[in-house]
Amino acid sequence: MKIPAAALLTVALIGSAPLTASAPISASAAVATVTASTATTKASNTIKVQNADVKLLFDGVALQPPAGQYVFMYNNTTYVPLRFMSYALQKSVSWDAKNLKVTVAEPSSSELVVIKEYLMNATTSASFTSKSIALNNVNASYVFSGNNKALPKGQSSYLLNGSIYVPLRFLSESVGNSISWDQKTKTITANSKGYEEKNTNVNSNGNGSGPTASASPTPTSTSEASGSGKLSYETITGETEAKLNALKSQSQSTLMGIALEYVNAKDETAKQSIKVRGVQQLTSFKASFNSIVADAEQKLNNNGYSTGIIQQYRDEFESQLQLGEDIAEGMAN
């Protein structure tokens, strides 16, 4: 597939956004979003910082952000990747690129599936490599559990590789979870509400030992939990589309950030590196799409239903990807 370098990440955005047959995103809307967001980023400041060698403990389990995400200090403030931290605390995250708005909320059972897959890319141990990183200031707004939250005066949020970075204390106070920073050991400790409640119950019962920590619980569909036996067609397709919509939100956020980084890159070497990373991310999201659809197809077959909807998902995905390629060709002419 030959795609001009200048349009590659626009194609990635357009191709990955419409993950369900019922809720496609038009190619023109996607391009308009990229243009608007690019203008905002160019008008903002870029900072250069050094990543920090930090330990992160979530519900007693050591995790590290996926490749390309960091923890850093700036103006005596510790900044962390919002999506990674929120996912590790069992929170869903959505990104409205057009309005530059981040929403953090309690996840549905299907969103927990995506969160679990995301955290599988987080390693329990990793050798630290010092690196200089450049981040773009992004004037984003934040909603936590339905409440608007503003960054403290004098602090900002930043964008790198599709990830939004926010001050640790701001996240802790906004998300309503226990997040602490130990300056001496360079350790961030965060506990989900479920984990804290478990520990409270264990301590109150006098068992003398805490529960076994789990980085991310295995989600259970409502139909399976009810013990109703055969799954309904509506349950299977409904849960599938919820998973696809959650994946859509994650892919849009990540690929949008890479696209903006590509547009702002100053030299061809940097552009090529960003392009490669964009292709890798797109491949990963396509794999997740295929996995979700394959799982739905198996459930439909096992319960004796038509699998025609599966082809609709795939056709819509390929159709929108083709629209992206057509726009890329136009941009090259």
Compute, in degrees rounded to 10, the torsion defined by CA atoms 131, 137, 139, 145. 10
pLDDT at 129 over 70: yes
Bridge-based pairing of strands 101-105 and 141-144 is: parallel
| pLDDT at residue number 144 | 93
Bridge-based pairing of strands 72-74 and 158-160 is: unpaired
The residues with which 191 forms a beta bridge, in sequence order, are 178
What is the C-alpha to C-alpha distance for residues 282 and 286, in angstroms, rounded to an integer? Answer: 6
| pLDDT at residue number 332 | 47
| Contact between residue 72 and residue 189 where contact means Cβ atoms under 8 Å apart | no
What DSSP character marks residue 303?
Answer: T
pLDDT digits (tens, 9 = 90+) for 172-187: 888 877 788 888 888 9
Return the closest-CA partner of residue 313 out of 282, 284, 292: 292
Q: Where are the alpha helices (DSSP H) in 43-186?
A: 82-88, 109-119, 168-175
How many whole angstroms from its chain centre is CA 326?
27
Q: Both tokens of residue 76? A: 């005596």
Residue 8: which pLDDT band, with cuts at 50, 70 and 90?
very low
Calculate the alpha carbon distances from 204 to 193, 195, 209 in Å: 16, 14, 11
What is the C-alpha to C-alpha distance for residues 239 and 292, in angstroms, rounded to an integer? Answer: 10
pLDDT at 157 over 90: yes
| pLDDT at residue number 211 | 37
What is the C-alpha to C-alpha distance for residues 265 and 261, in angstroms, rounded to an integer? Answer: 6
Return the closest-CA partner of residue 101 out of 294, 232, 288, 253: 253
Point out the least confidently predicted range of 82-96, 138-152, 165-179, 222-236.
222-236
| pLDDT at residue number 125 | 57
Please, what sign has the CA dihedral across residues 82, 83, 84, 87?
positive
pTM for this model (two decimals):
0.55
| pLDDT at residue number 269 | 85
Q: Where are the alpha helices (DSSP H) in the chain?
A: 8-16, 27-42, 82-88, 109-119, 168-175, 193-205, 222-226, 233-264, 268-302, 308-332
pLDDT digits (tens, 9 = 90+) for 220-268: 344 443 345 688 888 888 888 877 777 776 676 677 677 777 777 788 8
What is the C-alpha to C-alpha distance for residues 162 and 157, in angstroms, rounded to an integer? Answer: 13
| pLDDT at residue number 226 | 39
